[in-house]
């Protein structure tokens, strides 16, 4: 049985229970992070923990654990559950209290985490995936990684019903982001992605891909683009911590490029994988020598 972690203790998953009065359950009053596990090691977890701190701060929630404590818990979950490729999910809610919209006084945060396996280096979607276009009906603070995600639940369900792997969300025809990913196009040799604002999540993978592109001398333009421009682009792809870089080869019925993963997308994915292998390989070597 899987080992999870709840409020400071490692517990079997069937003993990991939270209160029905937890505000994460009542209001979606919580934040979360997802970091990849690659070669059995955490990937860029430090960056995810910086974003966690920011999400907590924006919602005036106290931070219950230091980044060092989280790293230890996250790596232990990956190791104890024998995750070679996969992810660690963690969540912090404002805690449990009698139901009242405003913050209750003297409330203790609820924190939990678990790990699971997922194919990353040989993700079948690396052959190309379809996205389904939906209006972005979310709130005005999409920069906060909140667990209140009903809009994405509906968007991704609509995508599934349309036979697509991901939702492509737009506002008045301008792409915001994917249901749980950032969206990119390649046009005339340059990458385009929407600039950071409260309209999108500042993806950790987005940041890393900007660095990878720089190393490969591929220009990056942080500028919004329309759904029509994505359809007409040379290439289109998405990024997220547990997808890495995946080619979008169809936008609903429209084929992007020639319908196969494009060469720039492939270079970025390969560059991303090489960096991941380097980072997790190094940390594994470090821990063996410790
Ligand atoms: N946008 C949204 C709405 C997301 O949910 C995610 C995944 N958490 C991303 C972008 C990608 O962020 P990251 O690269 O940090 O996983």
Instruction: Say if 288 falls within a structural domain.
Output: no
Contact 101, 223 (CB under 8 A): no
Question: Would you mind telling me the total number of residues written for the chain in this entry?
Answer: 290
Domain with 48, as residue range(s), is: 3-117
Instruction: Say if 290 falls within a structural domain.
Output: no
Ligand 1 center–CA 241 separation, angstroms = 7
Which residue's CA is the closest to the ligand 1 atom numbered 10? Answer: 181
30's enclosing H/E stretch is strand 30-38
- Is the beta carbon of 29 within 6 A of some atom in ligand 1? no
Q: Are residues 130 and 251 in the same domain?
A: yes
The domain spanning residue 224 has which CATH number?
Answer: 3.20.10.10
State residue 168's pLDDT score: 99
- Is the beta carbon of 201 within 6 A of some atom in ligand 1? yes
Instruction: Say if 195 falls within a structural domain.
Output: yes
Q: Are residues 237 and 136 in the same domain?
A: yes
Long-range contacts of 173-178 (CB under 8 A, 24+ apart): 173/226, 173/227, 173/228, 174/224, 174/225, 174/226, 174/227, 175/224, 175/225, 175/226, 175/227, 175/230, 176/136, 176/142, 176/200, 177/136, 177/142, 177/201, 177/203, 178/131, 178/238, 178/240
- Is the beta carbon of 175 within 6 A of some atom in ligand 1? no
State residue 290's pLDDT score: 43
Ligand 1 center–CA 201 separation, angstroms = 6
State residue 288's pLDDT score: 47
Percent of residues, the chain, with pLDDT higher than 70:
97
Q: Are residues 96 and 133 in the same domain?
A: no
Ligand 1 center–CA 164 separation, angstroms = 18
Give pLDDT tens digits for 53-104: 999 999 999 999 999 999 999 999 999 999 999 999 999 999 999 999 999 9
Final residue belonging to a domain, choices 84, 117, 150: 117
User: How many Å apart are CA 201 and CA 197, to the nearest integer?
Assistant: 8
Final residue belonging to a domain, choices 74, 97, 117: 117
Q: Are residues 87 and 134 in the same domain?
A: no
| Domain count within the chain | 2
Q: Are residues 160 and 93 in the same domain?
A: no
Give the active site residues.
145
Which residue's CA is the closest to the ligand 1 atom numbered 5? Answer: 180
Percent of residues, the chain, with pLDDT higher than 90:
97
- Mean pLDDT, the chain, whole residue set: 96
Final residue belonging to a domain, choices 102, 117, 132: 117
Ligand 1 center–CA 177 separation, angstroms = 9
Instruction: Say if 289 falls within a structural domain.
Output: no
Q: Are residues 84 and 159 in the same domain?
A: no
Average pLDDT over residues 1-27: 97
Give pLDDT tens digits for 244-286: 999 999 999 999 999 999 999 999 999 999 999 999 996 544 4
Q: Are residues 31 and 167 in the same domain?
A: no
């Amino acid at each position: 049985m899987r080992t999870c972690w709840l409020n400071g203790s490692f517990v079997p998953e069937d003993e990991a229970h939270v209160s029905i009065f937890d505000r994460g359950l009542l209001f979606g009053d919580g934040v979360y992070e997802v970091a990849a596990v690659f070669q059995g090691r955490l990937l860029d977890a430090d960056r995810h923990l910086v974003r966690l701190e920011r999400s907590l701060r924006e919602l005036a929630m106290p931070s219950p654990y230091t980044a060092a404590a989280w790293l230890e818990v996250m790596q232990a979950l990956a190791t104890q559950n024998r995750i070679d490729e996969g992810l660690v999910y963690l969540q912090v809610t404002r805690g449990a209290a009698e139901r009242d919209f405003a913050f209750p006084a003297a409330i203790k945060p609820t924190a939990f985490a678990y790990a699971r396996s997922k194919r990353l280096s040989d993700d079948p979607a690396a052959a190309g995936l379809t996205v389904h276009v939906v209006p972005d009906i979310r709130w005005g603070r999409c920069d906060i990684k909140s667990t209140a995600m009903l809009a994405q639940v509906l968007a991704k369900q609509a995508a599934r019903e349309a036979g697509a792997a991901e939702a492509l969300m737009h506002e008045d025809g301008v792409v915001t982001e994917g249901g749980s990913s950032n969206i990119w196009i390649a046009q005339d040799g340059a990458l385009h992605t929407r600039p950071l604002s409260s309209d999108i999540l500042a993806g950790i993978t987005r940041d890393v891909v900007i660095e990878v592109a720089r190393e490969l001398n591929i220009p990056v333009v942080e500028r919004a683009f329309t759904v029509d421009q994505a359809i007409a682009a040379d290439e289109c792809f998405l990024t997220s911590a547990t997808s890495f870089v995946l080619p979008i080869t169809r936008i609903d019925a429209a084929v992007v490029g020639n319908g196969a993963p494009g060469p720039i997308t492939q270079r970025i994915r390969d560059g991303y994988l090489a960096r991941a292998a380097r980072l997790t390989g190094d940390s594994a070597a470090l821990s063996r020598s410790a």
